[in-house]
Chains A and B, each alone.
Chain A
Amino acid sequence: MAARRVGVERIFSWSALDEKTRVGLLVCIFLMVAVAPAIGQSIESGWEFRESGTEQNLNTAVIVEHDNTKTIWVFGNQGTMLSSNDLGNNWQLHEKITDSNIIASDSYAENVVILSSDGGVFVISENGSWTYLGKIDSTNELTDITIISEGKSGIIVIGDNGNIWKSSSSSTDDDVLEWYQASNPLDSKLLDIAFLDNEKGIIVGEEGTILYTEDGGQSWDFRESPEETRNSDLVSVGFYNPFRMFAVSSEGQILSSTTEGAINWNLVEIESHGYDTSLGRSINSIEVVSASIILFAGSNNYLSVSLDGGNIVETNLIPQDVFSSFNDHAMIDYQKGIVVGDNGVILWTDTSGKNNLVGFEIPDYNNFGDFVEYSDDMLLDGFKATVKIVGFGILFGFIIGVLLAMLKTAPATLKSLIEGKPSIIVRLVGGGLSITGIYLFWNGFRGFSELQLNGIEYIFTPVGDPHGFALFGIGITITFLGILFISSDGKFSKIKLGPLTFDPWKIRPLNSIATVYTDFFRNTPLIVQFMFIHFGLSLGMEAQAVYENIIGPIGNDGVDYFLLGESAFISAIFTLGLNSGAYQCETIRGAISAIPSGQMEAGRSIGLTYLGTMKLVIMPQAIRICIPPIGNEMVNLVLNSSLAMVIGYAELSRQGRLIIAVTFQVFWAWGMVMISYFVVTWTLALLLRRLEEKTRIPGLGISGGS
């Protein structure tokens, strides 16, 4: 038998392609190579070592501005004091004013205050000399100092056993201040204090202590920290604006608060650490330099930065031959500043500590080559992301489309459902349905009446009371069915309402369900569907939660991460699939009705069931017929996938916008995005054309195109 098996024949073979197709494929490959990522880049530390001239451990650093000159002060053990007027290039060692370790410092306008380990407080005066403000007479260890107003009256010192000391504002003596203890509801050891202005401030301490003040430190209110940090030592706090507060524990847990008054604190799940809640390093200090950029400093040479409020924390490379435990930052702006640490280490950065890429010149985005070099990685990511949702979307949409088309063409009517069944059973079932229906209907209706809507406003009940609306709808349907069944007398008569006649027995329930579905999806805009499904229903996050509840945490890589790692991805494929399915359904239904009815009869006549004939006879022919129009729907799906940008999915269009945000090259960016889309859709169209040719069967349908 010289049987050529169509089924196992390869869809693609180079020699079988015509010349036009070959050239097209080569252009495709060229374009893909052209946007492929550049390799061979390397990174180096964003921190530079600066000679400090001391070996003492440096504990704290501040910046003060005087006559438009920024001076950085650094303080350390055994009274070490350093300053630099040239952005940390050269450091001047100052004469000691105390032999104790200087453990904390702060600045306000031109004032710098420091706290020594024996409780001494000093302030620098306008002429550059230090003034002793006296010693806090405390038996408890002191930990931090802050100054919140001009002069010497707004100084606050905190320490062990819940101690908060304030300088007395009533004092007239310039040199020696009186100290009094502010009220504090707790007695745990306080570790760090930060003020936003001269009224709002936060103190953090051991055992998850968080205190908040709105009156310049006169009174402090307790704030609940997340459960996981109740036993942690909160070592550092940053107060960037009324809605951005961050704190860190010594174990590397990041807490954030975005509510005014620091009411709620959340533990950040660190995406870059597998959604762990801890950095796993011992942290000494954080510095919040913008609403989302946080710098971390810790023991064992640890420095890191997060650009997005702690979700992704990038560990910094440390310059060679430096080993230290880093204690404090002093940042001039969000990029430039220093970090100080043990053994006299001072490091400078002008990139917020971010690692530098080396091996590239500084890009000039007016040069197309440099622009492409910058944007190709992002575009390729977008390209992959688009292909990913499109691939899954097409698969999902096609399955839905086939299912819906089968539902729509299903011949089962209400009549055929009960025909031949004993009338007593039908009536009993009808009675049961009516009672259930009325019960559901009534419950749903009661739900709505609580909504207190008027007139036309009732069209919004599906969102106002989804549960009630579902009960209401199902209730009405079931009641209708029940009454119909009760009244059935085997004659299947029509209902006459004046001039209108209506045959309830011809209702096809499966068809009705599919029709409601397709009508809904085809009569609402896709962009709204995206936002409703992702933000409204949180479908992606729900799916992740279900998976994590049943199977376990989603890893950082692997199949589960690929499929479920991104909630926007899940929502996007669902939206695209559900939407495309509604359109594909009509196309497939058209193809099914194009198959002669004799084919169904022939299938049934050899004893196949309805579904068996559908599967083995009708669908294989219908699908072949509808490859061209389905291809059209698939191309539409690719183009529609660009709307996934509104839910934050990083597909091609969104990447295009990001590229423009950095480079401002609008024409090039959108042009390249357009070319990338063309590559995807055109490849898809080629594949479908090939598929159509390969599956063509003589005598089936009119297939003219090539």
Chain B
Amino acid sequence: MADVVLSILDLEKIYPGGVHAVRGISFDVHEGESVAIIGSSGSGKSTVLRCINRLIEPTKGVIELRGKQINTPNADVNNVRSRIGMVFQSFELFAHLKVLDNVTLGLRHVRGMSKSDAEKVAIEVLERVDMLERINAYPGNLSGGQKQRVAIARALAMKPEVILFDEPTSALDPELIGSVLQTIRGLADEGMTMVIVTHEISFARDVADRIVYLDNGKVAEEGPSSIINEPKTDRLKKFLSSMHEDKIIENVKKES
């Protein structure tokens, strides 16, 4: 079995105010593996993701990146973050910078690369997400799908050891989702290590090597992507059928 890149052990998070969002979650992510985290709203999916790159400090638990605990006060948080890419639901491109500068910002100011070197890397990753012709556009002039692909390029440029996707398609119009999913699928094929929080069940089944189903802050079911087709627990069954109904409605809409 491949090396463990990311290991999460007994993670717990209680928000100020008492909301117990995550109640002891453990899972590992191996080299080249893509893990999809699914679950209904409020099940703690995004909280887990944000704990991993320490945008949120967990209340309890251990998070290890390549065997080294990263959620201690002594860990260099900026170094950790630069090794973990993050793609947000609402893109969060830097609105005042052009596409190219969005991608080079981290390379230049975190990695300390020269402008020309950074641009070389940026053009390479922008080509991978098929955004080469818009490198001088401002984010305000891009469509949602294009924005998300630039955001993926921004994360990729840092050559991260793992990329976290926080519902990368939820803010997109249905017809724009395809291009983003295509890009992510491409990364999975190239062997990128990824953790994807998503609502796209069929996408999770196609792309993810492993599915983690969260319910009420706990791992309710975990297994290879086949568990989507053959769920073992009732809760996952229920969840999938509700998602399925949504899908049907969506398909009806598309056809009409």
Contact = CB atoms under 8 A, between A and B. Distances in A.
The winner among A2, A608, A621 for most chain B CB atoms within 10 A is A608
Interface of B: 53, 55, 72-74, 78-79, 81-86, 88, 90, 92-96, 105-106, 109-110, 135-136, 138-141, 154-155, 158
A260 interface: no
A420 B54 CA distance: 15
Contacts of B96: 620-621, 624, 697, 700
Nearest to B82: A607
Contacts of A621: 94-96
A599 B88 CA distance: 10
30 contacts: A1-B136, A4-B136, A420-B72, A598-B90, A601-B55, A601-B92, A602-B86, A602-B92, A602-B93, A602-B94, A603-B94, A605-B53, A605-B81, A606-B81, A606-B85, A606-B86, A606-B154, A606-B155, A607-B78, A607-B106, A607-B110, A607-B158, A612-B110, A617-B94, A620-B96, A697-B140, A698-B140, A699-B95, A699-B138, A700-B96
Contacts of B73: 419-421
A420 B73 CA distance: 5
A516 interface: no
A606 B158 contact: yes
Contacts of B79: 607
Interface of A, secondary structure class, is loop
B106 A608 contact: yes
Contacts, number: 89
A601 B136 contact: no
B221 to A, nearest CB: 29
Contacts of B86: 601-602, 605-606
The winner among B92, B139, B158 for most chain A CB atoms within 10 A is B92
Nearest to A506: B16
Interface string A1-34: 1111000000000000000000000000000000
B81 A697 contact: no
A606 B92 contact: no
8 smallest CB-CB distances across A and B, nearest first, come from A699-B140, A420-B73, A607-B82, A698-B140, A606-B106, A602-B92, A605-B86, A607-B110
A597 to B, nearest CB: 9
A602 B88 contact: yes
B105 A606 contact: yes
A155 B42 CA distance: 110
Nearest to B103: A606
Contacts of B158: 606-607
The winner among A1, A419, A606, A616 for most chain B CB atoms within 10 A is A606
A89 interface: no
Contacts of B85: 605-606
Given A607-B110, A607-B158, A697 B92 contact: no
Contacts of A698: 138, 140-141
Given A606-B81, A606-B154, A624-B96, A699 B141 contact: yes
A499 interface: no
Nearest to B95: A700
Contacts of A617: 94, 105
Interface in A579-628: 596, 598-599, 601-609, 612, 616-617, 620-621, 624
B105 A697 contact: no
Interface in A43-85: none
B92 A596 contact: yes
A557 B155 CA distance: 56
A612 B109 contact: yes
Given A607-B110, A608-B106, A609-B78, A3 B136 contact: yes
The winner among B88, B93, B96, B135 for most chain A CB atoms within 10 A is B96
Contacts of B135: 1
A539 B93 CA distance: 46
Given A605-B81, A605-B86, 20 more contacts: A419-B73, A420-B72, A596-B90, A601-B86, A602-B86, A603-B94, A605-B53, A605-B55, A606-B110, A607-B79, A607-B83, A607-B158, A608-B109, A612-B109, A612-B110, A621-B96, A697-B95, A697-B138, A698-B141, A699-B140
Interface in A616-669: 616-617, 620-621, 624
Contacts of A609: 78
Nearest to B106: A606
Nearest to A615: B109
